[in-house]
Chain A
Amino acid sequence: MSLLVVESAGLLTTVQDFGREGYGVLGVSASGAADAVALRLGNLLLQNSAGAPALEMTLTGGTFLFPDGAVICLAGANFGAQVDGKVLELWRPNAILPGKRTVLGATRDFARCYLCVAGGIGVVEFLGSASTHLLSGLGGWEGRALRKGDVLPIGRLEKNIRRRKLRAGVLDGLKPEKTLRVTRGPQSEWFPEEARRTLVGGEFVVSEESNRMGLRLDGPRLAARGKTEMISEGTPLGAIQVTPSGQAIILFVEQQTTGGYPKIANVIGADLHCVGQLRPRDMIQFEEVSLEAARALWIEQQRLLNSEERLFA
């Protein structure tokens, strides 16, 4: 067994995979990587299974040591990773020699960087997933964010990693955008025409009070007509719910599974990875698309992400 030693953890670093979907009856939300596209590509570049557990770092990365060496791939945001003062490129397998420090800093672009390790990271699964669920302290590494001094088992290198590369242009189509496409929410009719126009015409700012559970948006208020509390019901990932004060909240991977605020819209599946890369103070906009268009975009994205031929040179 090889090891990953956390010399410093960064702002918020957790073990994540694709999450545990299917436990709504227990009140358990899926959790999982905030940017599932980056996690997938990082793992596939290492010839791991697409959803192998990896480290998800938030805004500022940590410093990691591999006593026996490792092959890693960084994916997602650029946290200015270096080894021995040399820049470690994103989106490619990098061999890290035993005892060398992989040092990550503050982000230069987006919110989350994934450190994938050839062979994955070994943690005890909870309900079939390695993902950390911070709110309940379940899953991942002891149910919590990593701390200085943690030592995690990583998979042993079984084979020589072929120098896999993404095809030119692949990332262009998967780039995290600041304009999120949405479909109408189940209570969109509760809102006056004006509020719906504001949602798609206005500019919103991601609040500092945003996390894996949800992103609070500052900006124009979206008041519902009349009553603002409804009978609680299941809340889909990416739902944009509106509080009685008119504030919009995008429910995210560690979301509450049910809620009683009306939902004006819902981020489409193909843009959920963009939500995972939003930083506090980012300015964002929404664009409405039909359910049919959203589904077509999702199918196309899934085809691309499942086609090694189209992804890798």
Chain B
Amino acid sequence: MRFQAASDQALLVYLGEEIGAPAHERVVRLLRLLQQEPIAWIRNIQPAYCSLLITFDATVVDHAEVQAKLSEYEPRAKKMPLGKPRLVEVPVCYGGEFGPDLDDVAAQQGLQPEKVVELHIARTYHAYFLGFAPGFAYLGDLADEIATPRLETPRKEVAAGSVGIAGRQTAVYPFATPGGWRLIGRTPLALFRKDREPMGLIAIGDQVKFRPITRAEFLAARQA
């Protein structure tokens, strides 16, 4: 465990130095313990691949005190159960107007577009954390054969439900937002709804699988 001051009111806790299950399991276990035994002066917890960003009430504690408290929590967190992960299935209509970058990704990787789709649906992905926007889950790890860097110039607007890839990550855009990931398809599902419990379709620690659907199925699901 490594600590790093991030701001005058925030501390980064690193539980590993590379993306993967070992570091992320420690992140989730510590998060679960902090949720189970909340600390009053913690204002926010932002988990990521290998770290937790802890924002604290600086009128009550300083970095050293936060560090001491978390050092007490972490060994106990090792015993926190992770539970059986939820499996979330996301139907996706690949290519065409819904996946404007599918052909580019295929060309860059020397593959047929169908092969890109095949590789994208073959794996079950792990939801590392939610960031960027409400309900935006960072999913990994993408097969090396289709890992493609972000666009050099991000789009000003990406349609809600768009499925993108960036490096060895994949994700679904919950809202129409700017975005730099390469878009290969779109889901008719709502990723985040404030009138639903839970609001997010995907939560940290979930397993996610993509399933190809036709354009007709996409449109039918949209109307339902």
Contacts and interface: CB of A to CB of B under 8 A. Distances in A.
B43 A22 contact: yes
B95 interface: no
A291 B8 contact: yes
Contact of A232 (B9, B49, B55, B199): B49
B181 interface: no
B58 A299 contact: yes
A81 B52 CA distance: 45
Contact of B9 (A259, A263, A298): A298
B108 interface: no
A234 interface: yes
Interface residues of B, number: 46
A27 to B, nearest CB: 3
Contacts, number: 143
B132 A257 contact: yes
A237 B47 contact: no
A183 B9 CA distance: 10
Interface string B161-195: 00000000000001101000000000000001010
B133 interface: yes
B219 interface: no
Interface stretch (A58-66, A112-120, A132-140): A132-140
B44 A22 contact: yes
Interface string B5-16: 111111010000
Interface of A: 21-28, 30, 126-127, 133, 135-138, 183-186, 231-239, 256-259, 263, 266-269, 291-292, 294-295, 298-299, 302
6 contacts: A21-B55, A27-B137, A126-B194, A234-B53, A237-B55, A268-B7
Given A23-B44, A258-B138, A268-B7, 20 more contacts: A21-B55, A25-B130, A27-B132, A27-B135, A28-B134, A136-B192, A183-B5, A233-B48, A233-B49, A233-B51, A234-B53, A235-B53, A237-B7, A256-B133, A263-B6, A266-B7, A269-B8, A269-B9, A291-B63, A295-B58
